[in-house]
Amino acid sequence: MTKYLRKCTVCGKYTILKEICPYCSNPTRIPHPAKFSLTDNYGVYRRKLKRIEEKSS
Ligand SMILES: [Zn+2]
């Protein structure tokens, strides 16, 4: 259930499944973005690897 919970970035109210806040029409986000930061980490590693490859060539 909590994975559907989203929080408004502006008024801080919680909503379920809505990407736009029903109170103030601003975008909402997932309050605990653990899985999303994982994909960000992979992007960081990929960029680091690319930089190393550029240096060695
Ligand atoms: Zn709001």
Give the CATH number for residue 7.
2.20.28
Range of the domain at 7: 2-56
Which H or E run contains 6? strand 5-8
Rounded-to-integer distance, Cα 54 and Cα 51, Å: 5
Is residue 29 within 8 A of residue 13, CB to CB? The reply is no
Dist. CA 27 → ligand 1 center (Å) = 8
pLDDT in tens, 4-26: 899 999 999 999 989 999 999 99
pTM above 0.85, yes or no: no
Is residue 21 within 8 A of residue 10, CB to CB? The reply is yes
> How confident is the model at residue 13, as a pLDDT?
95
Our count of domains for the chain comes to: 1
Dist. CA 37 → ligand 1 center (Å) = 23
> How confident is the model at residue 53, as a pLDDT?
81
pLDDT in tens, 19-52: 999 999 999 998 875 555 556 666 777 788 888 8
Dist. CA 30 → ligand 1 center (Å) = 13
